[in-house]
Chain A
Amino acid sequence: MTEAVFPEWRDKPLDEVLYECRELLEDTSFPTVRRWREAGGKVVGHFQVYFPEEIAHAAGMLPFKVRGAPVEATEADSRFGSYLCSILKTSLELALSNRVTLDMFVTHPICDAARNLAAVWGRNFEYPCQILYLPQNANSQHAATYLRGEYDRVRRGIEAIAGCAVTDEALRRSIGVFNENRALLRTLYRIKRETPWLVSAEDAYVLLALGGIIPREEHNELLRFTLPLIEQRTAKRQDRVRVVLEGAFCEQPPLDLIRAIGRSCYIVDDDLLIGLRWILDDVPPAGDPLKSLAEAYLECSTHSPVQHDLRKPKHEMLLARLANANADAAVVMAAKMCEPGLEEQVAYTQALDQESIPYFVSEFEENMTSFDHLEIQLETFIENLLFD
């Protein structure tokens, strides 16, 4: 694919680039996916959170992060029961309403609802819809070998759709592209941590999120252009509370909510779209690429409520995230009806209580449109901290 699917930002000053990025992210017709397909490309839709996108990339396909959208689940509603998170419904809605067209769909056993998606999706579409069984026993000595085999199964499935072999060499090239992407995103998060006044919460989020809907080469180009300009900004530091936002690993809060939180405080770290940056370091480009990717999932990945690893108790990881970001407080959120997120809230708040770290607890939904009440509560929380 040589044509850029997101050319609108080019040759523009930083503020206009960020404006174009926001416009694209909020466009629920997903024009970049449409353009990719119009140019003859194929698309693998992968539901949150963990997916080895390198495999799809190496096949020349677009890995599209399926993460719902703020749309009405007009058609999808009748496929689900009442007590369910929004992201499941709106994700299916995107496909049923032809906002996005896929050639393959992959979900994961990150939660009981998400695992059901392969069956639901498969009953509604002709293309392969499957579960990638990531190892839930990350502490087994046999997990890496198993996962390498499971990734190989996914590779074979993708090859059948792409109509070409996914060679180790192609995988190594893709790992290189994604390593650069991970490094750029680490820079973005360093800016958030060290100089949060240089980039607003919503702009940082938008720059991150576009990685899920455009080719990684384009995303790298965008980040290579914007990050130095952001660092050159001369914005003044304000006396704001530094917070870590936790609880957005799957369903995403609406951009307006991120903006609202960012108005009250500096979000110096978060788990927003953690699935776009779950591998914490470079994946070795040499050797067996599938083995390297499998080991990266097990040995070099961040935490989330949907990855069980005895070495990574989530509440301790949150405390570490707060400490690393030199944060004053935590905003502990959970998507409505999100079982793992809501369960983890208890562990998080107990750990925060124990460490006497202030926190703000709330629920959200991707479709929510009114934030006044939440914003007032958050402002009160922040004021209490500032004047304590």
Chain B
Amino acid sequence: MTGTEQTIIGRGNKDGARLFREWFDELNAAAEANRPAAYVFVMGSFAELLRAFDFPLVFPEINSLQTAVRRVAHEYLNEAEDYGYSPDICGYVKADVAVQLRGGKHPMGRIPKPAIAVYTNACNTYIKWAEIWERMYKIPTFVLDIPGTRLAGGQTWPGDTDFENDRRYVIGQLKELIALCEEVSGARFDIDRLRENMEHANAMSVAWKQLLDLNQARPSVFNALSDGTIFLGVANGFRGLREGAAYFEDLVEEMQFKAQRGIGTLTEERYRLIFVGVPCYPIFRRFNELFTESGGTFVNSTYLWFASGGSNVGFEYDLAHPIESLAEGVLIGVRDAMDSMFFQTKILIDMIDDYHADGVVYHPIKSCRTVSTGLADSRRDLMRRRDTATLFIESDMMDRRVVSEAQLKNRVDAFFEGLATRRRQAALGSARLST
């Protein structure tokens, strides 16, 4: 490996891990200083706006998944269930309840208490979750309601009657949110700070889209499941910040470097896969290995779409009209995040074509009805429209009680046998045609 290669390759993962630690260190410091935070979610965080009021941003979803990745989620889930929550609700919610009951302590340190919670309706559980904080802390919560796509293929666009009705509603809510943030933070709204944050978000969105596009390379330059989760962490935690924009610009440079030289991931790529759903965090590394051991790499995922709040569309704000443009951006971006969960058939067909995918892995989870409810039907629909291999496996993102590694492995192995058979048959078919 040359010096340049050594500097560039793997930089994104190293820098991502560093930034992630620094972010949690800052949250820890904020908690120690009793500095109240804004609690937000990944599907529409409004980081650009909230940073203009200097709120430390806490993403409870990310805190919760950290408990699973670090294999202690069961302790948190048990604590929340003892408190009264059902085993059948979202594991993220329960882990967060336990974090709150522990005074903010979690595996990566401590998080500050909320001064405000801001969230969209992209997931209804966000709304129920914030109601818990309302009761626990008596804080103001604000649901910024983003109407989504009404029916398959029915997206509306600027100028359409229905889009403009939605846009007026979102603009009105943004103004109400700004007034609330002023009240809670005691700071005056500075539109130039918002513009600055939006400019960083623009750079990040452009880079995020470029990054996803770069994985169309053969071999793929990153694993959408394992590497992608690191990227998502930075995309959410550093949205609207200079460091976040710089990170993604560097990341694009790294992936371009790899793509130009035909350098792939550590996996010897035999099968290119698309992941639909949420990762299995309780056995995160092993879950990925179930695929990579057979030469499967994840070239894209709906997770990279919805958990980035729809940044994949690469929407760039018009800085001359920040509020109006922020409204349009979240309408289009968060809607796209929702589409990738509800109306994903066309999205998947495009992904299969653009990324030359050999198969699609559906992974619905017990915890999340938003993502999981329609996946079995979506799979039927995809198989009706395209002759693509698919795998349907169920487990959870938090709860190891519903994760059976042996059963998963059996199913995954059988899926790869099917992929190999398809490939042999395709080769035989080509050979017959040529003779």
Listed stretches B137-145, B196-204, B238-246, B407-415; interface member: B137-145
The proximity string for B residues 366-410 relative to A, scoring 1 for CB distances below 8 Å and 0 otherwise, is 101110111111101100000000000010000000000000000
Given contacts A136-B145, A343-B85, contact A112 B172 (CB under 8 A): no
Interface presence of A310 (CB below 8 A): yes
Of B83, B145, B173, B378, which is in contact with the most chain A CB atoms at under 10 Å from its CB? B145
Whether the pair A345, B84 counts as a contact (CB closer than 8 A) is yes
Interface presence of B261 (CB below 8 A): no
A36: min CB distance to chain B, Å: 24
The proximity string for B residues 140-164 relative to A, scoring 1 for CB distances below 8 Å and 0 otherwise, is 0111110111111010000001100
The residues of B that contact A124 with a CB separation of less than 8 Å are 377
Pick the residue among B89, B141, B151, B176 that contacts A342 (CB under 8 A): B89
Interface presence of B169 (CB below 8 A): yes
Interface presence of A94 (CB below 8 A): no
Given contacts A83-B372, A349-B84, contact A130 B377 (CB under 8 A): no
Whether the pair B169, A83 counts as a contact (CB closer than 8 A) is no
Interface presence of B115 (CB below 8 A): no
Closest A residue by C-beta to B152: A122
The proximity string for A residues 133-160 relative to B, scoring 1 for CB distances below 8 Å and 0 otherwise, is 1011100111101100110010000000
Given contacts A120-B377, A140-B169, contact A339 B125 (CB under 8 A): yes
**Interface size, B (range):** 35 or more
Given contacts A80-B376, A145-B168, A150-B147, contact A342 B86 (CB under 8 A): yes
Interface presence of A109 (CB below 8 A): yes
Closest A residue by C-beta to B153: A122
Chain A, range 323-355, C-beta contacts under 8 Å to B: 334, 336-337, 339-340, 342-347, 349-350
The residues of A that contact B124 with a CB separation of less than 8 Å are 109-112, 115, 136, 306, 339-340
Whether the pair B172, A140 counts as a contact (CB closer than 8 A) is yes
Pick the residue among B135, B166, B373 that contacts A146 (CB under 8 A): B166
Whether the pair A120, B150 counts as a contact (CB closer than 8 A) is no
A52 to B142, CA, bound (A): 26
Whether the pair B373, A81 counts as a contact (CB closer than 8 A) is yes
The residues of B that contact A153 with a CB separation of less than 8 Å are 150, 161-162, 165
The residues of B that contact A83 with a CB separation of less than 8 Å are 88, 364-366, 369, 372, 394
B349: min CB distance to chain A, Å: 13
B101: min CB distance to chain A, Å: 12
Whether the pair A119, B152 counts as a contact (CB closer than 8 A) is yes
Interface presence of B345 (CB below 8 A): yes
Given contacts A112-B369, A116-B373, A347-B131, contact A339 B89 (CB under 8 A): yes
Total contacts A to B, CB within 8 angstroms? 180
Whether the pair A142, B376 counts as a contact (CB closer than 8 A) is no
A349 to B86, CA, bound (A): 13
The residues of A that contact B374 with a CB separation of less than 8 Å are 80, 116, 119-120
Interface presence of A82 (CB below 8 A): yes
The residues of B that contact A344 with a CB separation of less than 8 Å are 128
The residues of A that contact B375 with a CB separation of less than 8 Å are 81
A347 to B132, CA, bound (A): 8
A150: min CB distance to chain B, Å: 7
Whether the pair A130, B378 counts as a contact (CB closer than 8 A) is no
A130 to B148, CA, bound (A): 11
Whether the pair B366, A109 counts as a contact (CB closer than 8 A) is no
Closest B residue by C-beta to A137: B145
Of B90, B124, B161, which is in contact with the most chain A CB atoms at under 10 Å from its CB? B124
Pick the residue among B127, B342, B364 that contacts A81 (CB under 8 A): B364
Interface presence of B8 (CB below 8 A): no
Whether the pair A145, B169 counts as a contact (CB closer than 8 A) is yes
A305 to B84, CA, bound (A): 17
Interface presence of B123 (CB below 8 A): yes
Whether the pair A136, B168 counts as a contact (CB closer than 8 A) is no
The residues of B that contact A88 with a CB separation of less than 8 Å are 373
Interface presence of A118 (CB below 8 A): yes
B177: min CB distance to chain A, Å: 9
A214 to B131, CA, bound (A): 37
A82 to B176, CA, bound (A): 40
Interface presence of B257 (CB below 8 A): no
Interface presence of A170 (CB below 8 A): no
B435: min CB distance to chain A, Å: 41
The residues of A that contact B151 with a CB separation of less than 8 Å are 118, 122, 128-131
Chain A, range 63-79, C-beta contacts under 8 Å to B: 78-79
The residues of A that contact B84 with a CB separation of less than 8 Å are 345-346, 349-350
Whether the pair B150, A131 counts as a contact (CB closer than 8 A) is yes
Interface presence of B211 (CB below 8 A): no
Given contacts A137-B143, A342-B88, contact A118 B169 (CB under 8 A): no
Interface presence of B13 (CB below 8 A): no
Interface presence of B189 (CB below 8 A): no
Interface presence of A291 (CB below 8 A): no
Interface presence of A123 (CB below 8 A): yes
Interface presence of A286 (CB below 8 A): no
The residues of A that contact B368 with a CB separation of less than 8 Å are 112
Chain A, range 296-341, C-beta contacts under 8 Å to B: 305-306, 308, 310, 313-315, 334, 336-337, 339-340
Given contacts A123-B381, A143-B169, A146-B168, contact A116 B342 (CB under 8 A): yes
Closest A residue by C-beta to B144: A137
Interface presence of A235 (CB below 8 A): no
Pick the residue among A115, A140, A150, A347 that contacts B165 (CB under 8 A): A150
A345 to B380, CA, bound (A): 35
Interface presence of B24 (CB below 8 A): no
Chain B, range 179-236, C-beta contacts under 8 Å to A: none
The residues of B that contact A136 with a CB separation of less than 8 Å are 121, 124, 127, 143, 145
Closest B residue by C-beta to A340: B128
Chain A, range 153-195, C-beta contacts under 8 Å to B: 153
Whether the pair A123, B345 counts as a contact (CB closer than 8 A) is yes
Interface presence of B343 (CB below 8 A): yes
B87: min CB distance to chain A, Å: 9
A133 to B90, CA, bound (A): 23
Known: A83-B366, A137-B142, A310-B134. 19 other contacts (CB 8 A): A84-B373, A115-B370, A116-B342, A117-B373, A120-B377, A130-B154, A131-B150, A133-B147, A133-B150, A136-B124, A136-B127, A140-B169, A140-B176, A142-B173, A153-B162, A306-B124, A313-B135, A339-B90, A342-B86
Q: Would you mind naming 13 contact pairs between A and B with Cβ atoms under 8 Å apart?
A: A81-B364, A88-B373, A113-B373, A141-B172, A313-B131, A339-B89, A339-B128, A342-B86, A343-B86, A343-B128, A345-B84, A346-B85, A350-B84
Of all A-B residue pairs in the complex, the 5 with the closest CB atoms, nearest first, are A142-B172, A149-B165, A146-B169, A112-B370, A116-B373
